[in-house]
Amino acid sequence: MSIDAITPVGTLGAISAVSGSNNPAPTSSGADFGAMVAQGLQKLQDAQNTADNLAVEAATGRLTDVHDYVIAATQANLATSLTVAVRNRALDAFNEIMRMQA
């Protein structure tokens, strides 16, 4: 059994991810934001569907590992809570903008 040598710090590729070079440049169109919102809502729906399917399997006795259902239900709950929190903050921001005087 051989032990791999330690990679020098200067050659690590993960440092570019920390610096933010992987972030896309902001655009002026609203289509990208709308697509991100739609994608986020689709992921939320997928998480809910997964949790629902695992709940049915657990109820019928076909699920062998109950922790899979618990993890999926927790992920769906967290995603729903995050979505509601983002929606509430967006509504608060919109209401604050509407209260501003021109």
Q: For the segment 37-54, what is each residue's pLDDT rounded down to a tens digit?
A: 999 999 999 999 999 999
Q: Are residues 84 and 76 in contact, defined by beta-carbon separation less than 8 angstroms? A: no
Whole-angstrom distance, CA of residue 53 vs CA of residue 57: 6
**pLDDT (0 to 100) of residue 3:** 61
Give the closest residue to 47 by CA, choosing from 67, 73, 68.
Answer: 73
- In this predicted structure, what is the pLDDT of residue 87? 95
Q: In 3-state terms, what secondary structure has residue 19?
A: coil
What is the greatest pairwise CA distance in the chain? Answer: 73
CA angle 41, 47, 51 (to 5 degrees): 145
Q: Are 75 and 54 in contact (CB under 8 A)?
A: no
Predicted pLDDT of residue 24: 59
Instruction: List the pLDDT tens digit at each of the 102 positions of the chain.
Output: 566 655 555 444 444 444 445 555 665 666 798 899 999 999 999 999 999 999 999 999 999 999 999 999 999 999 999 999 999 999 999 999 999 976
Predicted local distance difference test score (pLDDT) of residue 34: 87
The per-residue pLDDT for 16 is: 44
What are the boundaries of each domain within the chain?
30-99
Amino acid occupying residue 59 = A
